[in-house]
Structure 1
Amino acid sequence: MDPRISFITLAVADLDASRTFYVDGLGWPAALDVPGEVLMIQVGEHLVLSLWAAPEFEAEVGPIMRGPGIVPVSLAHNVPIHDEVDEVLATARTAGADPVSEPFEREWGGYSGYFGDPDGYRWEIAYNPGPIGQVVLP
């Protein structure tokens, strides 16, 4: 099996709110949009972010764990320039993101901060000047 991820699928409580945030707010174009079911956005050459309405998600993969706290997953968007972290976080906040944390200089030499989408999924916006950070940039 190749070491590869093809889809990142997130169950969302309100697909319309997710569409407004990702497509209208962040400006990411929809690759597939089935109202009431799923919104797919190509986020890399071979990677798709799939946002499923929670009932559709549960029908296919099983019950969703519910309760207090955040979901135990985070997503990262790396940028090639330090100051771009601030720009991307500002765009997300303008689109309605929860400003989880302000960016700061990390002990590993990078700079990053977090925002939450309408369902609370945490996105890290990061500048990582190290070798692994360069691997993920186009």
Structure 2
Amino acid sequence: MEQRLTFVTLAVRDLARTRAFYVDGLGWEPELDVPGEVLMVPVGERLVLSLWDRAAFEAEVGEPAQSGPGVVPITLAHNVAHPRDVDAVLEEARRAGAEVGEAVARDWGGYTGYFADPDGFRWEVAWNPGPIGVRVVPDTDTTARP
């Protein structure tokens, strides 16, 4: 098997609400939009975020192991080139209706904050001045400070 990821699929409770958040709120462009079933958004050169109606997901894949209160045990990340971009993206998510935490300078030298989409999936917005940050965002400013 080749070392690559092509789809990230998230099962969502209310696809219309999720669509409103990602498409109307954040301005993302879907590649496939089947109301009540699935919304697919290209998020990288060869990577698609698939937002799938939870009932349809469960019918095909099975019932999730964890249901109930708390944080979903997965995060998605959106890296940016400069610390100020972290705050700008978090503000955009806030305007779209996300639950947003404040960004903080991290011990490892980066600057990150989190927001939650309508289903509680946490997105990390990160400026990472290290080699992995430059790998995912080649124009990262490695000299900036939060």
TM-score by length of 1: 0.97
- Cα distance in 2 for residues equivalent to 1:4 and 1:134: 19
Q: In proportion to residue count, which structure has more strand?
A: 1
Give the alignment of 1:79-98 within 5 angstroms. 79-98=80-99
Is the partner of 1:9 in helix, strand or coil? strand
Is the partner of 2:112 in helix, strand or coil? strand
Deviation at 1:2, TM superposition (A): 1.6
Give ranges in structure 2 of 5+ residues lacking alignment. 139-146
**Is 41-50 or 65-74 further displaced after alignment?**
65-74
- Cα distance in 2 for residues equivalent to 1:7 and 1:54: 16
Give the alignment of 1:19-30 within 5 angstroms. 19-30=19-30
- Cα distance in 2 for residues equivalent to 1:71 and 1:40: 20
Deviation at 1:55, TM superposition (A): 0.5
Q: Which residue in 1 is equivalent to 2:126? A: 126
AA aligned opposite 2:93: A
- Cα distance in 2 for residues equivalent to 1:54 and 1:61: 10
- Cα distance in 2 for residues equivalent to 1:68 and 1:52: 21
Give the alignment of 1:42-53 within 5 angstroms. 42-53=42-53
Is the partner of 2:57 in helix, strand or coil? helix
- Cα distance in 2 for residues equivalent to 1:84 and 1:68: 31
Structure label with greater radius of gyration: 2
Deviation at 1:82, TM superposition (A): 1.1
Deviation at 1:60, TM superposition (A): 1.1
Runs of 4+ in 1 over 3 A off after TM superposition: none
Deviation at 1:120, TM superposition (A): 0.2
1:31-62 Cα distance to aligned partner (Å, 9 max, x none): 10011100000000010000000011111110
AA aligned opposite 1:4: R
AA aligned opposite 2:111: Y
**Identity level (%):** 63
Deviation at 1:70, TM superposition (A): 1.5
TM-score by length of 2: 0.91
